[in-house]
Amino acid sequence: QVQLQESGPGLVKPSQTLSLTCTVSGGSITTNYYYWSWIRQPPGKGLEWMGAITSSGSTYYSPSLKSRTSISRDTSKNQFTLQLSSVAPEDTAVYYCTKDLRLHSDPTSLSEYHYWGQGTQVTVSS
């Protein structure tokens, strides 16, 4: 059974860079042909897909966040990481990592993904 676990700071100051890690167990992030995504849900709003990294290491980003987002991976640790620069209070959200055979760049529900983590709350505040 695949499990995903997000980790990172719960509080980030404005203008700083947010860094979150998704640790995967029960399966390798290099196994073809999956998309490993980051999505978020601001309070009172719907899900927003941020970007993804594939089993082969290719990356895809939301056009609206592309200039501030970077997704990378550490295959030795079976982890992938999100970095979001120049954060602002509007970036306050619950952040999730997911796994699926499809990109799902416009999700309405977490259940659209085969697997997802429990989510981690990130608050941007001074």
Strands 115-116 and 120-124: unpaired
What mean pLDDT is predicted for residues 69-83? 98
Q: Are 42 and 92 in contact (CB under 8 A)?
A: yes
pLDDT tens-digit profile of 21-73?
A: 999 999 999 998 999 999 999 999 999 999 999 999 999 999 999 999 999 99
State the virtual CA torsion across 69, 53, 82, 90 in degrees, nearest 10.
50
Q: Is residue 104 over pLDDT 90?
A: no
Say how many C-beta atoms besides its own lie within 10 A of residue 120's C-beta: 20
